[in-house]
Chains A and B, each alone.
Chain A
Amino acid sequence: MSSPETTAETAHGHGDISTGMAAPSGSGDSNASATRITPGNALRPEDIALEVRTGLVKPTEDAAEYALRLGDDALILAQRLGHWISRAPELEEDVALGNIALDQLGHARSFLTYAGGAWEKSEDDLAYFRREHEFRSAHLFEQPNGDFAVTIARQFVVSYYQFELYRRLTESTDGTLAAIAAKAVKEVDYHRDHSAQWILRLAGGTDESRKRIIHALKLVWPYVGELFEDDALVTRLAEAGAAVVPSSIREDFDRLTGEVLTEAGLEVPEVPAAPGGGRRGQHSEHLGYILAEMQVLAREHPGASW
């Protein structure tokens, strides 16, 4: 039940569950899993923060901007998914969606911590004290939860996208990005499995569930295109071997999601793509509300520690 992120944190220094030692600096453990207790050997945001603080690593301005994008995607999604905890259709889904939210939040913390290294900012500075136009998340992540089908449709797209992205990012010449991706890809693999299974169940369940998942896919599909758009930043980073060119993973994404949809007897929705703009700070109408809620308490007490 415990997530490794939190278990590692809360176990740190208490000794009654923690059996490991502090994580080796900068090393992501590709055997670490979101759903198992992984004392000590998983890359934690605190380890990255330590490396940044001690000057062991410092992202380039470009790498930091890139990490900000990936971190914001994960953070905004975690914020959305967290809402399901105590509201899911089954207790098992309270646990499952909670776990996915927690994994995403863990990835966000790592990416943001690393990004902040370029500007002497902490993960919390970036999460709580940036304004809407300074966020770099894509529109898909801020889409409302809707009903369970919409949440699953969104998660289906996200997890297949993130899996292909992180799988390639483990080869990054930027060691920290590679390490974060190595941990994340294992976790996202479970998210893929979870969402694909629900796509099959909802499509093959009742008439109502089928109708709902078809509608849900239509609602989220306009935001798929933005995920695979290239721009100058990623092109520059990719040339240096540090980032993944988004357009390069589209083919695998289409093929793999297509396989699941075919098995479910569903079609890729034919809907016009939305223009996006999240990577440039141009967001949908939803993000402002998400940030208002997320940031309210931290902003009431600027400078306080929690």
Chain B
Amino acid sequence: MAAQNLQSVPAELSPEELAAAEQREADGQANFDRVMADDSRIEPKDWMPDAYRKTLLRQISQHAHSEIIGMQPEANWISRAPSLKRKAILMAKVQDEAGHGLYLYSAAETLGQPRDKMMADLIAGKARYSSIFNYPARTWADMGAIGWLVDGAAICNQVPLCRASYGPYGRAMVRVCKEESFHQRQGFEILLELSHGTPEQKQMAQDAVNRWYAPALMMFGPPDDDSPNSKQSMAWNIKRFSNDELRSRFVGMMVEQVRVLGLTLPDSEIRFNEDTKKWEHGPLDWNEFHEVLAGRGPCNAQRLERRREAHDDGAWVREAAAAYAHKQSMKTKEFAA
């Protein structure tokens, strides 16, 4: 549907048609520029530059993929959750993530890309997802650390996205963020309970925080001077704050919260810089980040294989549903005729 608005001008147009198409293009660009200047919203049927569409499609689909792959480390603990209440909360959380994936794929579809194609790209290893999900969830405390740190970082990233210039994305993010804030809180509660529990439980919590801290900080993306796409995204009102700015804010929040938890962050260099009024942290291993991104993380192969397996095992079900729907619609037509 949205593809009709693509700038591609079909061949063999009459001079009048060509002129009209050029005029539409010019009007579209003018409208787009006005929307950017007013900081208001672009909707699916509006004209938009190709690069804007591509950037959004990449970002939203990657975000959707992250939700879907991100279900796995936590689903890994549903069957072993140590209390029924925690099991219920964890199930609901992982289920929320499937829901987030659904909203986001739907938002991406408004840009002209079908969900099947996005899923196929993911399974073929052509699409990216947040590399944090390539780390293993080894202990129950990881459910706490993922909620607190990973969802916490995601919220920092995503709250500004509620104001993204592309309407469907911004609106999807509003709902996603509401649920994410519950997720972070449940993660915090898990850690709080563990840190006030037995010495083994507290140790488990500290170990999980130690392992997830640096990967969570790297979720904000490379340092600003190594983030080539950020500037354009900010000009388009998709991104509102730089990677380093968001990372610094996140560190500031975690520093406060970790005290309440009675745990520590594995970073002795965290400090508040009075001059810049920003929180600073120790160096991050960007080499590791790039390695994991390039597919050489602890669980990359496992995560993709699991998604592929679910997709392949479910093929006959999707085919059956499609065939049934087709037969039903034929029946309805016959009845109408």
Residues of A participating in the B interface, judged by any CB pair closer than 8 Å: 1-3, 5-7, 9-10, 14, 16-17, 45, 75, 78-79, 82-83, 85-95, 98-99, 101-102, 105-106, 108-109, 112, 123-124, 127-128, 147-148, 200-202, 204-206, 208-209, 212, 293-294, 296-298, 301, 303-306
Contact, CB under 8 Å: A3 / B79: no
- When distances are taken between beta carbons in the complex, the residues of chain B under 8 Å from A99 are 95
B314 within 8 A of partner (CB) = yes
Q: Is the CB–CB distance between B88 and A209 below 8 Å?
A: no
Question: Is A89 touching B314 in the complex (CB atoms < 8 A)?
Answer: yes
User: B92, A91: Cβ atoms under 8 Å?
Assistant: no
Q: How far is the CA of A304 from the CA of B204 in the complex (A)?
A: 13
Instruction: Determine whether the beta carbon of B89 is less than 8 Å from that of A98.
Output: no
- Tell me the complex Cα distance, A3–B57, Å: 30
Q: Are B80 and A148 in contact (CB under 8 A)?
A: no
Least Cβ–Cβ distance between A208 and chain B, in angstroms: 5
The verdict on B321 contacting chain A, using a C-beta distance below 8 Å, is yes
Question: Chain A residue with minimal CB distance to B72?
Answer: A86
In the bound assembly, the distance between CA atoms of A285 and B185 in angstroms comes to 39
Instruction: Count residues of B near A (Cβ-Cβ below 8 Å).
Output: 57
Known contacts A1-B179, A95-B102; A6/B319 CB under 8 A: no
Is B84's CB under 8 angstroms from A14's CB? no
Query: Which residues of A lie under 8 Å from residue B91 when comparing CB positions?
Result: 3, 6, 82, 85, 98, 101-102, 105
Q: Are A92 and B102 neighbours in the complex by a CB distance under 8 Å?
A: yes
Contact B95 A95 (CB under 8 A): yes
Complex: A93 Cα to B102 Cα, angstroms = 11
Please state if B95 and A83 are interface contacts (CB–CB under 8 Å). no
Among residues of A, the one whose C-beta sits closest to the C-beta of B94 is A85
In the complex with contacts A101-B91, A105-B84, A304-B198 CB distance below 8 A: yes
Q: How distant is A291 from chain B, measured CB to nearest CB, in Å?
A: 11
Those of B144-184 within 8 Å (CB) of chain A: 178-179, 181-182
Contacting residue for B320 out of A14, A94, A202, CB 8 A: A202
Chain B residues with CB under 8 A of A148: 313-314, 317
Of B198, B313, B322, B324, the residue contacting A147 (CB under 8 A) is B313
Q: Mark B309-323, 1 if CB is under 8 A from A, else 0.
A: 110011111111111
With a cutoff of 8 Å between Cβ atoms, the chain B residues found around residue A89 in the complex are: 310, 313-315, 317-318
Partner of A85 from the list B75, B81, B197, B319 (CB cut-off 8 Å) is B75
Secondary structure class of chain B's binding surface, majority of residues? helix
Q: Is A301 a contact of B198 with CB atoms below 8 Å?
A: yes
Instruction: State whether the Cβ of B62 lies closer than 8 Å to any Cβ in chain A.
Output: no
CA–CA, A296 to B82, complex, Å?
A: 8
B207 CB-CB contact with A under 8 Å: no
Which has the most chain A C-beta neighbours within 10 Å: B185, B313, B323? B323
Which chain A positions have C-beta within 8 A of B68? 91
Nearest CB in chain A to that of B328: its residue:
A204
Interface residue ranges, B against A (CB under 8 Å): 68, 71-72, 75, 78-89, 91-96, 98-99, 101-102, 105, 140, 178-179, 181-182, 185-186, 190, 193-194, 197-198, 200-201, 306, 309-310, 313-324, 327
Interface pair A205/B321, CB less than 8 Å apart:
yes
- Given the interface pairs A95-B95, A147-B313, the reply to whether A293 lies near B78 with Cβ below 8 Å is no
Is the pair B185, A10 in contact by a Cβ cutoff of 8 Å? yes
Q: Which residues of B contact A98 (CB under 8 A)?
A: 91-92, 94-95, 98
Expressed in whole angstroms, the minimum distance between the Cβ of B187 and any Cβ of chain A is 11
Q: How far is the CA of A75 from the CA of B79 in the complex (A)?
A: 11
A106 surroundings in chain B (CB, below 8 A): 88
Known: A204-B327, A206-B320. A109 touches B88 (CB 8 A): yes
8 A-B pairs, CB-CB below 8 angstroms? Answer: A83-B78, A88-B310, A91-B68, A105-B87, A202-B320, A205-B322, A205-B324, A306-B193
Query: How distant is the Cα of A91 from the Cα of B75 in the complex, in angstroms?
Result: 14
Which residues of chain A have C-beta atoms less than 8 A from B198's C-beta?
Answer: 301, 303-304
Give the residues in chain B near A1, CB-CB below 8 Å.
Answer: 95-96, 99, 179
A104–B319 Cα distance when bound, in Å, is 29
CB-based contact A208/B310 at 8 Å:
no
**A306 engages B83 (CB within 8 Å):** yes
B326 to chain A, nearest CB (A): 9
Interchain CB contact under 8 A, B85 and A293 = no
In the complex, which residues of chain A have a beta carbon less than 8 angstroms from the beta carbon of B83?
124, 128, 298, 305-306
* Measured CA separation A105–B99 after assembly (Å): 20
Whether B200 and A301, one on each chain, are in contact in the complex, defined by CB atoms closer than 8 angstroms, is yes
Q: Name which residue of chain A comes closest to B68, CB basis.
A: A91
B-chain residues with CB within 8 Å of residue A82 when the two chains form the complex: 78-79, 87, 91
The smallest beta-carbon distance between A52 and chain B, in angstroms, is: 15
Contact between B316 and A296, CB atoms less than 8 A apart: no
Alpha-carbon gap, A206 to B324, bound state (A): 8
Known: A9-B85, A86-B306, A205-B323. 18 other contacts (CB 8 A): A3-B95, A10-B89, A85-B71, A85-B98, A86-B94, A87-B306, A87-B310, A90-B317, A94-B98, A95-B99, A98-B94, A98-B98, A105-B87, A148-B314, A200-B324, A201-B324, A294-B80, A304-B200
Known interface pairs A88-B314, A304-B197. Does A102 touch B82 (Cβ–Cβ under 8 Å)? no
Q: Which residue of B lies closest to A202 (CB)?
A: B320
Given contacts A88-B314, A200-B324, contact A3 B92 (CB under 8 A): yes
Contacts of B98 in A (CB 8 A): 85-86, 91, 94-95, 98
> Do A79 and B79 touch across chains, with their CB atoms under 8 A apart?
yes
Are B313 and A10 interface neighbours, CB within 8 A?
no
Given that A3-B88, A200-B324 are contacting pairs, would A206 and B319 also be in contact in the complex, using a CB cutoff of 8 Å? yes
Say whether A86 contacts B88, CB under 8 Å: no
Cβ contact within 8 Å between A10 and B182: yes
